[in-house]
A = this chain, B = another copy of it.
Amino acid sequence: MGTKHLDQIKQEAFEINIAIVREKLVVLTWGNASTIDRSNGIFAIKPSGVPYSNLKWQDMVLVDLEGKVVDSSLKPSSDTQTHLEIYKGFELVGGIVHTHSPWATIWAQACQSIPVIGTTHSDHFFGEIPCLPYLTQDKVESDYETETGIQIVKFFNSNQLDPIHMPGCLLSGHASFSWGQTSKKAFENSVALEACAHMAYHSISLNNNIKFPDFILSKHFLRKHGDKAYYGQIKSK
């Protein structure tokens, strides 16, 4: 097992965990980010309940895809099993961010999906950002965090949502998960999710009959993603 790769994902996971605090997506310890090394099937995640001010990159906990801690004396985030299920279910995902960022959480608590009504949203999410229903009582009381991850993967599969085209979702009564092909993309998607949640809340209050055209959604998403992307300095794959 390459130590070098593992140190690198610890550092990447650490940077994203710090970045979500700096961007005010996280209050107290309400959030965690992880990065996976697909060559080893190992991901690095924030330890549970450690204050951000004391966090070092070496504190990131390495976990394999069977959920076993492979390197750390610290317990991994209590949401580790949810990250695990997302990594298992969505093979192209390289990083995951979970936060209780206020505006995404406001929509999640209202049990409402975020409609696509603008180009900011379209640049990152190819359609409405879905809000999944409350988990059932037996799932909450048995293996809550695992069931949360399973719910996300099942929902995307049964609704034929591509997790790279729709890199995030809301969980009713809870908060949001975002992801991406890299942890940097996961981070950017979590920032975009929060900004779009904030703006959509207020736009629909001004106008409850917004008819955002599909062709603008397609134009913006595909300007940044896929074969014909022309945004940024380097062609995306």
Contacts and interface: CB of A to CB of B under 8 A. Distances in A.
Nearest to A202: B106
Nearest to A145: B223
B215 A141 contact: yes
A192 B27 CA distance: 8
A111 interface: yes
A47 B204 CA distance: 33
Contacts of A135: 216
B49 A231 contact: yes
Contacts of A100: 119-120, 195
A57 B212 CA distance: 37
A207 B112 contact: yes
B141 A219 contact: yes
A27 B195 contact: yes
A175 interface: yes
A1 interface: no
Interface residues of A, number: 60
A228 B215 CA distance: 48
A105 interface: yes
Contacts of A110: 203-204, 206-207, 210
Nearest to A103: B202
Contacts of A49: 231-233
A96 interface: no
B105 A48 contact: no
Contacts of A223: 78, 144
Contacts of A205: 205
Nearest to A77: B231
A232 B29 CA distance: 10
Interface in A47-84: 47-50, 74-75, 78
A214 to B, nearest CB: 9
Interface of A: 27-28, 30, 47-50, 74-75, 78, 100, 102-103, 105-112, 117-120, 123, 134-135, 137, 140-141, 144, 173-175, 188, 191-192, 195, 198-207, 210, 212-213, 215-216, 219, 223, 230-233
13 contacts: A27-B195, A30-B120, A48-B232, A78-B223, A100-B195, A105-B118, A109-B199, A120-B175, A134-B213, A134-B216, A137-B215, A173-B212, A174-B216
